[in-house]
Amino acid sequence: MTLPGLLILLVLGCAATWALTSSVRRYALHSDLVDRPNERSSHTVPTPRGGGIAIVVSYLALVAVFAFREPGAERLAAALLGGGGLVALLGFIDDRRPLPARWRFAGHLLAAAWVIAWFGPLPPAPIFGPVIDLGPGAYFVSGLYLVWSINQFNFMDGIDGIASLEAIAVALGGAFLWWLTQPQGGWQLAVAFAACVAGFLVWNFPKARIFMGDAGSGFLGYVVATLALWSCSTLPHLFWSWIILGGAFMVDSTVTLVRRVALGERFNQAHRSHAYQYAARRYGSHPFVSIAFFAVTALWLLPLATLVALGRLDGAWGVVIAYTPLMILAFHYKAGNRAAQEI
Instruction: With beta carbons less than 8 A apart as the criterion, state whether 174 and 190 touch.
Output: yes
Nearest to 301 by CA among 232, 339, 245: 245
336's CB contacts (< 8 A; 6+ apart) are 255, 256, 257, 258, 259, 260, 262, 263, 273, 274
Nearest to 214 by CA among 43, 45, 99, 111: 99
Nearest to 310 by CA among 241, 231, 229, 263: 241
CA dihedral 12→298→250→96, nearest 10 degrees, is: -30
Nearest to 21 by CA among 59, 66, 65, 78: 59
- Give the pLDDT score at 269: 80
Nearest to 330 by CA among 293, 294, 303: 293
Instruction: With beta carbons less than 8 A apart as the criterion, state whether 121 and 141 touch.
Output: yes
The rounded distance, in Å, linking the Cα atoms of 337 and 330 is 10
pLDDT by position in tens, the chain (length 343): 677 778 888 999 999 999 999 999 999 998 888 888 766 666 678 899 999 999 999 999 999 998 888 877 899 999 999 999 999 999 999 988 888 989 999 999 999 999 999 999 999 999 998 999 999 999 999 999 999 999 999 999 999 999 999 999 999 999 999 999 988 878 999 999 999 999 999 999 988 999 999 999 999 999 999 999 999 988 999 999 999 999 999 999 999 999 999 999 888 787 889 999 999 999 999 999 999 999 999 999 999 999 999 999 999 999 999 999 999 999 999 999 998 998 6
Q: Which of helix, strand or coil describes residue 175?
A: helix
Single pTM value for the model: 0.95
The rounded distance, in Å, linking the Cα atoms of 172 and 178 is 10
- Give the pLDDT score at 342: 83
Instruction: With beta carbons less than 8 A apart as the criterion, state whether 218 and 150 touch.
Output: yes
The rounded distance, in Å, linking the Cα atoms of 39 and 85 is 32
Check the CA dihedral 203-208-210-214 and report its sign. Answer: positive
- Give the pLDDT score at 78: 96
The rounded distance, in Å, linking the Cα atoms of 57 and 20 is 9
Instruction: With beta carbons less than 8 A apart as the criterion, state whether 180 and 228 touch.
Output: no
The rounded distance, in Å, linking the Cα atoms of 259 and 325 is 18
205's CB contacts (< 8 A; 6+ apart) are 160, 161, 164, 165, 287, 290
Nearest to 227 by CA among 191, 276, 195: 191
Domain boundaries defined on the chain: 3-247
Report H helices in the chain. Answer: 3-30, 53-69, 74-96, 101-119, 137-156, 162-181, 187-204, 213-231, 238-245, 247-262, 275-283, 286-296, 302-309, 315-332, 338-341
- Give the pLDDT score at 343: 67
The rounded distance, in Å, linking the Cα atoms of 266 and 115 is 29
Instruction: With beta carbons less than 8 A apart as the criterion, state whether 48 and 211 touch.
Output: yes
Pairing of strands 131-132, 47-48: unpaired
Nearest to 210 by CA among 48, 57, 92: 48
